[in-house]
Amino acid sequence: MKIVFLIADMQGGGTERVIAMLANEYARRDISVVIMQIAGHKSVYHLDERVEVLIIAKSSPTLADKIIRLKRMRSYFRKNKDIIIFSPGTITTIYAAAATLAMKRFIFVSERVDPECCPHPKWRDWAYKRVDRFAFQTEELRNYYPPGIRAKGTIVMNPVAGDIPKRTGNSRAMTVVAVGRLHEQKNYPLLLAAFKIFVAEFPDYSLHIYGEGPKERELKELTEEMGLTAVTTWHGFVPDVQMQIVDSGMFVLSSDYEGIANSMLEALAMGIPTIATDSVGGGNRVHIEDGINGLLVPMKDEKALAQAMKRIASDEVLATRLSDEAIKIRESNSVKEIADQFLALME
């Protein structure tokens, strides 16, 4: 058996991190693993030397480029029959379905995006008819689809790396941190608005945002307009972000939509007091039990988010209790456990 992970590139992001963890885990089990990058040639993640990286195309801005990409994929799939195609995205699934027309290849989809926001729903629906098995991150996501697709799917969570650091001391930095792509989905303007309310009462705190994305310039301009430049640091993409944030005062996820945010899982696993919006997709409420291992707040409510930040900053007993409960996710979402679940669905 050979598992072929399809991905645009490996330049950073939650999905890419999950693929790297799963690929390394399967390689350690002597399972043949290929990461097929169909629109990029870089990787920021450590990969086991037994993981084969196959570059299909660096980019595909034109129709001719996309046709060439499809032909290369089809050539590979024709030559390799005993494979499982693991697709974590809508676009990669469309390409997989098209590249395997008239072939019998096992296609496995790990659905990770908001189906309501799919830019190509008709192409997606066509491709999904050719998929053999699905893994959904929440029941909310699975229930979006018709019975035929739901019957072929089950719920599988994201893994947490076993070597992720844990806070060792008793003190916490006076920092609020956020990690993720600078994308509209993440609703960073909400975080900035809430932090402005929060920092007026807790002026010793600073805001640190890790990630890159299309909204970077716009968000930095908004930060300046809101008078938060002096207390906000934009770090960009940082490969060892866990080491940078492990002693943070709190982690905040302000998204409007999330399947399961890897950054949130990692924050919980590190014992960082965590606040998340109760966003569409349901992944945050699956992992956070409000007041037990983190705090959940309504979407798009800057006052509620600011109040949650104030609760953690002013109550060390609460912060410690949340941390102690949160780190239990290291066991339930271990890479071995999640890799076993995916493998059972692919066999």
- For 41-92, the pLDDT digits (tens) are 888 889 999 999 999 987 767 888 889 999 999 999 999 999 999 999 899 9
Of 309, 306, 264, 313, the residue nearest 285 (C-alpha): 264
Same topology between domain 2-160+333-346 and domain 175-326 = yes
Q: Is the pLDDT of residue 113 over 80?
A: no
Measured in Å, how far apart are the chain's first and last C-alpha atoms?
9
Question: What dotted CATH number matches 2-160+333-346?
Answer: 3.40.50.2000
Quote helix, strand, coil % in the chain, to nearest 5. 45, 20, 35
For residues 58 and 43, what is the distance between their CA atoms, to the nearest angstrom?
Answer: 12
Residue 162's pLDDT is: 83
Residue 94's pLDDT is: 96
CB 282 within 8 A of CB 139: yes
Comparing 217 with 15, which gets the higher pLDDT?
217
The SS3 assignment for 209 reads strand
For residues 130 and 96, what is the distance between their CA atoms, to the nearest angstrom?
Answer: 9
Tell me the range of 249-263, 289-303, 328-342 where mean pLDDT is highest.
Answer: 289-303
**Cβ neighbours of residue 26 under 8 Å, at least 6 residues apart?**
3, 33, 339, 343
For residues 129 and 127, what is the distance between their CA atoms, to the nearest angstrom?
Answer: 5
Fold that domain 175-326 belongs to in CATH: Rossmann fold (3.40.50)
Handedness of CA 197, 198, 203, 205 (dihedral sign): negative
Contacts 24+ apart (CB under 8 A), 46-52: 46/20, 47/20, 47/23, 48/23, 48/24, 51/23, 51/24, 51/27
For the chain, domain boundaries = 2-160+333-346, 175-326
Q: Model confidence over 249-259: pLDDT tens digits? A: 999 999 998 87
